[in-house]
Structure 1
Amino acid sequence: MFRSTSLTCALLLSFNIAAAPQVIDIPYIAQSASIDGEINEPVWQSAKEITINNVTWPHDNTPSPVSTTAYVYENGEALYIAFIAKDAKPEEIRAHYRDRDKIWNDDLVGIKIDSLNNRQNAYQFFINPLGVQMDSIENELTKNDNASWHGIWSSKGMIVEDGYRVEVKIPLRVLNFNDSPGRKTMAMEFLRFLPRSERLRISNMQLDHNNSCWICQMPAVSGFASAKQNSNLTITPALAVTHTQTRDIDGAIVPDFESETSYDPGLDVKWAVTPDTTLNLTLNPDFSQVEADTGQLSINNSFSLFFPEKRAFFLENSDYFSSHLNLVHTRNVSAPDYGIKATSSKSGHTFAGFIANDDATHVLIPGNLGSSIVSLEQKSENAAFRYRYDKGDELSVGATSTLRQSEDYQNQLVSIDAKYRPTKHDTIKLQAVGTDTQYDQHFINELCDDDPIDSCDINESVLRVQNQGEQRGTGYYASYEHNRKHWRAFGSYRNYDSAMRADLGFVSQVDFNKFVTGFEYRWYGDESNWWNRANWYSDWDITHNEDGELLEKEVQSNFKVQGPLQSTIQFGFDHRKRTGQRHDESLLNIDGNTDMFTENFQWMYLEMKPKAGVFAGLTLNTGNKLDIANNRLGQRYIVKPTLDFSLGRHFEVKLRHTYERLEHEGDNVYTANLSDARFTYQFGINSYVRLALINLDIERNQQKYIDDVDSQYKKLSTQLLYAYKLNPETVLFVGYSDSGYKDDDLSNITKDSKTFFAKFSYAWLR
């Protein structure tokens, strides 16, 4: 049915990594293909044929055990791809109906596209054999994948007797590219993932494992002569209806629920002002979380927890704001009335900016031994701006500025950064930050719960805010890495002075400087070994405060090996000297005001994916650990089992549990159990129903605590959610959630909130 691959093409694909760069010509064909998974239309006869036959991971450019062919063409408006994935044992194909982006463990085919050909970012589009989609943006600067990015594109999959087939249509409107007249050059990689006993990454290109930049190695693609980006406009009206019942149960008498019903219309607009510039506008958005965050345990932790962003407006081109430090973390903006964002990228120049207000002001107050959050019941204004210039893959230079302000508070930040790769083995990163923060008396009173300062429970956060003589702060970051195929060496230095604040980002520790150096060695297995990858990692670090007082000194090392059944065994140890809590909380000094403790603990992590739809993991950790609440050393035990399994292609169960116990001199200090269970039935590609249960149970031995604590605390949160998604922006959510807790004043778990919600949005594409 398809023409055979030419000898010339086969020779090009089999060249070693030292050969001249491969250039792929994508043909223009005016006809549109029907995306039905059949691949039987005549148009595919004229498409470009690409062979995907090279295993790049976990092996080092070895022949593929299966045959995969992609057929590609474009018609000026969209890129069309057909994958024929052969498999001698189709019964072993791993494919499930899942929500978008939840198919990483399935068989996959897909494409990576560097549409600007600047070797800085790559769109990733992957599809399982049933047509379920997964997309993301890979960022070379940060080495992260933004899996929360969603494009609107089409796919269809079909399992057949000799494997599976997938058809894909990617509208060019979802890509940023230069639409100047004439042929255009992008970079693309065509991929197949084959998860069996090993999970093979199979590519149409050779991958140089001496080069840590994978985007830089993607073959150039020529074509798209008639492709133009018109004024693409997406208008998405939305309506959220919420009925909430709440009550304050902090006392012996449990009151009745107070109810409130709200109807909140909203509007999102996305407009491609020019081919290179996109404007996003949101009015009266409902920014509450639809899906419950994964439970996190923080019983013996003095620093604030990090939660990732999940909201569409902030996720659009969020990688444009990325730098070496997390200076823009948009979950700080909790409930805006409006938001405006502009992003642009052309000829190596990238710009991004957003402005949004907020009905409340939540500020993270960092210190060197802990952090806390202040919440003000007043509106705030928030803004972030970012510019970056990329000169190929060798040099990137950027600048970031953020602003947060309310009636009683203001924080401004300016930062410059650079990334330089003098060779493919060496990477240098630099960043400098300057901040100016102003707190007024009302802000300080909030830290003290409106008590007078002389009767306030003084802690580090209060002292940091009170010190108005330190309004302006600075921070520095520098790192160097030398990376080879079998080993890498690295070092970094970070210095945040006591007045530095990145209040629109996530910086939970200041007044410290930290030096880290380390080494990693890698082994690559072959068919004669039972394992396929192994590595040994070790680093050493030391941290002082501004005054040169020691905060922490640590050495850690671990060894990891990957083997059959997609298994991983990793074990290591940590040896750390660290300061405890301050004896006199009204003083910030370390020497003479803290004790130094030595922590030694060992840990092990195990995981495997023995068959389709099954994942099992286990974390074990034991050793002596600082008991922060009581400022002494204890013996800590942690057990974290994880189990995911599927019943057929539609039903999935995800179970997470954390058991943590701390002992002192043989007596229990606390025992904590956190369980997170999620049950999902996926009706098809577009809809699912999910039940989530998160249960926290903490028991404390009051005799072992310095301060008064509850001997028992239990909390149970539940959520039932139905979702229908025609595409990432045309969605319907209907659900119910509640939460309740129990402490020493309550005889059983008592609900303090109930919420019924429905959200609908529809995207009009123009």
Structure 2
Amino acid sequence: MPTPRRCILALACLFALQPAFAQAPDAPPPPPPGSYVPGGSIPKLQGDIAIDGVLDDAAWQGALVQDIAYDIQPGDNTPAPVKTVVRIGYTDDALYVSYHALDPDPAKILAHLRDRDAAFNDDWVGLFLDTFNDHRRGYELVVNPLGVQGDIIRDETNADNQEDSSWDGLWQSAGRITAEGYDVEMRIPFSTLRFPNGGGDQRWGISLFRNWPRDKRHQLTSHRVPRESNCFECEWGQYTGLAGAKQGRNLEVVPTVTVGAEQTRDAANTPWKSADTSIEPGVDVSWAPSPNMTLNATINPDFSQVETDQLQLGFNDSFALFYQEKRPFFLEGADYFTTPFNVLYTRQIADPDYGLRVTGRSGGSTYGAIVARDAAPQVLVPGVLGSGFEALDEKVDVAVGRYRYDFNQHASIGVIGTFREGDDYSNDVVGVDGRWKSGPHTVTAQFLRSQSEYPQEFIDRAIDDGVTDLDLSDRTPVGDAWRTEYSFSNRNWYFDTWHMDVDPGFRADLGFIGQVGYDKSLAGGGYTWFRDDKALNRINLYADFDITHRFDSQLLEREWEAQLQADGPMQSNFSLHALTRARFWQDTLFDEHYADVNIQFRPLPKLLLGAYANVGEMLDLTAAKTGRRTLLELWGNTDIGRGLTLNWDVTKQWMRRGGGTAFEATLVNAGGSWQFDPRQRLRLTLQGSEVLRDQTLYVDTVNETARDWAAQLVYSYKVNPRTALYAGASYGAFMDDDNPDLFGNTRSVFAKFTYGWQP
């Protein structure tokens, strides 16, 4: 069925705004007279360079030489404690960068063979690029001393998630440890980057970065970063040159084949039931017709079994759990659709037959659109005090459009629309948002309106399943949601206040908004002490107050909280937090209060340990009674040799009330990986949970015992992020009151092959 006409018309209206604002943002102001500003003209290199980590190619002699001169954390733009010489140059098709990183004690260099985006705790060097020089969106490319890559998209306009590591670019790197420190070489094809058209000289913002983790984690840069600055990209050095840079054909085709077999059974000592062996072909296509625009298409994208969701317990919590997106088609360019409200959660597009996406920038304009056909949609049914997922038994068409115009680096305005429609179902959300930022002041606001229609069968099923506490008798709910926020942040002080209001009839079925029918206000602030060269080099004190009311003015929550946080030796972070609140549940206001402590540190360079403890009077939602709840969590990871890593996270909580223990819950996420070489990796994941309840302390019947565990083993061989082979197996088991013996109930094997082809 084709995408509904009104979805296409709505998207067209969004993008029709673009020409009206087709002017470039303001140029950044010149630096103060006499100040040191790194930068210069990036020269064209003469000769070939082999990316092997050996800085002996003659072409490097013609490169621009720079220095990573400043310690910005924990130092306050103090001289860098170690010297790093950087050389930058380019050819017609790529940018080349080398790092000569000296170290007074090379034996202390932290360097391990790891998977991509997993080496951020090692020593590493980085190249940060603002290719449009507009202080809004940039690339962060980092390499550890063994050549392991990490890459991130940085979004200065998104205070909640400025760095997103889901983007994987195609570029080359190599590194080696030497008697003086380590050397790194990078080659970044211009086809991997997006930058303005023209063919003449470019002007880019660039930060050259080095992570030097010792007793403290030193962050070293090529430029000063004032502590009062709340825009990191605004401080990057200015570089010119790169005339004649060619992006190539910018076409990439990635076919995928996933083969899997799964068996299940309902009880112990019963035969395994086999499903048909599945063979799922798919393909992703990416094409950039211009440096300012990227088109993507996908057919039958899959979650595969390559990445495992972190196990969570929806224990003593009435709201649906959030899981991160993992599919490359939906991950890349996700920052283009970010707004204050989470109105696009792409895991709601559960089983797309196909998907199309366009993203781009032109002058001050940023835009994106997605069109898809979902064969197995689900709906997050929201409520005032709880929410849950419910399947929608029909195929739906999906359309999303986002446009933002930046008048300059201070002010922007945007619109967004999400549309999902089936035979007798629809959910449309449209809204406008704005942002103003000047010095320490930031103001953001967003207004949304939704209109929905649901099948009667869906309404009846949601009522039977009890996934919401709202009256669902209205099949065509309509509602508004709005939020406004002001924040102030300078060198030492921070202040934040915001208010949001969400109608009971508001629905964002393509987003993750699990609570509706309420309004909430918050005001808070804090102060930071910087104590350079002290054991505790940074101390922060923060407190806030918030209050929440139901749509009929019933008080839902009134909360005070405060936190003291400090950074110290052994890369440690310590926090002490306390909270007290009145909380509404089942027509009663309950008093809750607790204190918690959190600490993380490195007693040894290759060992990270963390602990969290929480004790206080909390509400048992199932019983609607309070008790003394204790929660303990221990986590950590350790590196053994160059390639073996072990990790663990164990949480246990229990509640005492009525003279007994109402519940005990244990959750374990553990495992490890063995990186044989830069391409081959073997990963083991172990997950398990146990929940025990005392029926005598509950009025309603409860499941007294529930236990489950699962294991997964995956082998991967990666030529690059697009060309890879995966093979794995998984096994799961559980028990409950109806099945008193732990038994295996699922097992599966799979293989996946992807190939990145660039004609």
Q: Pick the TM interval, shorter chain.
A: over 0.9
Q: Secondary structure at the match of 2:720?
A: coil
Give the corresponding residue for 2:468: 461
Q: 2:301 touches 2:327 (CA, 8 Å); kept in 1?
A: no
**Residue 73 of structure 1: aligned partner:** 89
Determine the C-alpha separation between the residues in 1 that align with 2:168 and 2:242: 23
Equivalent residue number for residue 450 of structure 2: 435
Q: Which residue of 1 aligns with 2:417?
A: 401
Deviation at 1:297, TM superposition (A): 2.1
CA distance in 1, matches of 2:101, 2:547: 51
Alpha-carbon deviation of 1:357?
Answer: 1.6
Cα gap change, 1:32 to 1:320, in 2 (>3 Å) = farther
Matches within 5 A, 1:40-439: 40-143=56-159, 144=161, 145-249=163-267, 254=270, 256-421=272-437, 423-439=438-454
Does structure 1 residue 552 correspond to structure 2 residue 541? no
1:522-557 deviation digits (Å, cap 9, x = unpaired): 011122x21111101111100111221111010110
* Distance (whole Å) between structure 1 residues aligned to residue 271 and residue 33 of structure 2: 71
Distance in 2 between residues matched to 1:102 and 1:392, nearest whole Å: 35
- When the two structures are superposed, what TM-score results if normalisation uses the length of structure 1? 0.93
Aligned residue identity for 1:384: V
8 Å Cα contact 1:110-1:126 kept in structure 2:
yes
Question: Is contact 1:212-1:424 (8 Å) kept?
Answer: yes
Q: 1:472 aligns with which of 466, 473, 478?
A: 478
Q: Provide the C-alpha distance between the structure 2 equivalents of 1:439 and 1:302, rounded to a whole number of angstroms.
A: 23
Shift in Å at residue 254 of structure 1?
Answer: 4.2
Tell me how far 1:16 sits from its aligned partner.
8.7
Task: State the AA in 1 paired with 2:559.
Answer: E
Q: Please, what TM-score do these two structures have when normalized by structure 2? A: 0.94
Gaps of 5+ in 2: 1-30
One-letter amino acid of the structure 2 residue matched with residue 700 of structure 1: R
What CA distance in whole angstroms lies between the structure 2 residues aligned with 1:639 and 1:141?
36
How much does 1:284 deviate? Answer: 2.1
Distance change in 2, residues 1:108/1:205 (3 Å): same
Aligned equivalent of 1:540, options 545, 570, 585: 545
Summarize the Cα distance change of 1:57–1:485 in structure 2 as closer, same or farther, 3 Å threshold.
Answer: same
Q: Which residue of 1 aligns with 2:640?
A: 647
Whether the 8 Å CA contact 1:413–1:435 is kept in 2: the answer is yes
Aligned residue identity for 2:550: N
Change beyond 3 A, Cα 1:17–1:207 = farther
For residue 691 of structure 1, the aligned residue among 672, 684, 687 is: 684
The 1:154–1:460 alpha-carbon spacing in structure 2 relative to 1, beyond 3 Å, is closer
Letter in 2 for 1:539: D
- What SS class does the counterpart of residue 741 from structure 2 fall into? coil
The CA deviation at 1:36 is 0.3
| 2:726 equivalent to 1:733 | yes
Q: Relative to structure 1, is the Cα distance of residues 464 and 280 closer, same or farther in structure 2, using a 3 angstrom cutoff? A: farther
Q: Which residue of 1 aligns with 2:10?
A: none
* Structure 2 contact 302–327 (Cα < 8 Å) conserved: no
The answer for unaligned runs of 5 or more in structure 1 is 1-14, 449-455, 582-593
Aligned amino acid, residue 508 of structure 2:
A
CA contact (8 A) 1:716 1:749 kept: no
Alignment match, 2:3: none
Change (3 A) 1:219 1:391: farther
Equivalenced residues, count: 727
Q: Distance in 2 between matches of 1:32 and 1:636?
A: 65
Partners of 1:705 and 1:329 in 2: CA distance: 36
Cα offset, 1:737, TM superposition:
1.0
**Deviation for aligned residue 1:390:** 1.4
Identity %: 35
Q: How far apart, CA to CA, are the structure 2 residues paired with 1:148 and 1:437?
A: 32
> How far apart are 1:230 and its partner, in Å?
3.7
Tell me which moved more, 382-391 or 653-662: 382-391
1:713 lines up with 2:720 in the alignment: no
User: Is the Cα contact below 8 Å between 1:53 and 1:67 reproduced in 2?
Assistant: yes
AA partner of residue 533 (structure 1): R
Distance in 1, Cα, partners of 2:45 & 2:127: 20
Q: Tell me how far 1:287 sits from its aligned partner.
A: 2.8
Pairing partner for 2:717 from 712, 719, 724 = 724
Deviation of 1:225 (Å): 1.0
> How far did 1:253 drift?
8.2
Distance across 2 between alignment mates of 1:191 and 1:264: 42
CA–CA distance in structure 2, aligned partners of residues 30 and 336 of structure 1: 48
Q: Which residue of 2 aligns with 1:588?
A: none
1:462: how far off?
6.6
Distance 1:321 1:230 in 2: 27
Tell me which residue corresponds to 1:576: 581
Relative to structure 1, is the Cα distance of residues 765 and 611 closer, same or farther in structure 2, using a 3 angstrom cutoff?
farther
For residues 565 and 265 of structure 2, what CA distance do their matches in structure 1 show? 49
* Deviation of the 1:610 alpha carbon: 2.8
Q: Does 1:759 align with 2:734?
A: no
Q: Give the Cα–Cα distance (whole angstroms) in 1 for the partners of residues 226 and 688 of structure 2.
A: 46
Amino acid paired to 1:467 = D
1:700 to 669, 693, 703: 693
Distance 1:347 1:31 in 2: 35
- CA distance in structure 1 between the partners assigned to 2:593 and 2:740 by the alignment: 39
* Contact kept in structure 2, 1:300 and 1:628, CA below 8 Å: yes
Cα displacement (A) at 1:612: 2.6
1:227-284 per-residue CA deviation (whole Å, 9 max, x = no partner) reads 13343100111111011112334xx984532332011111111011222111111112
- What is the RMSD of the two structures over their aligned residues, measured on CA atoms? 1.6
Q: Deviations over 1:72-122 (max 9, x none)?
A: 001121110000000010000001111000111100101110111111111
Question: SS state of the match for residue 168, structure 2?
Answer: coil
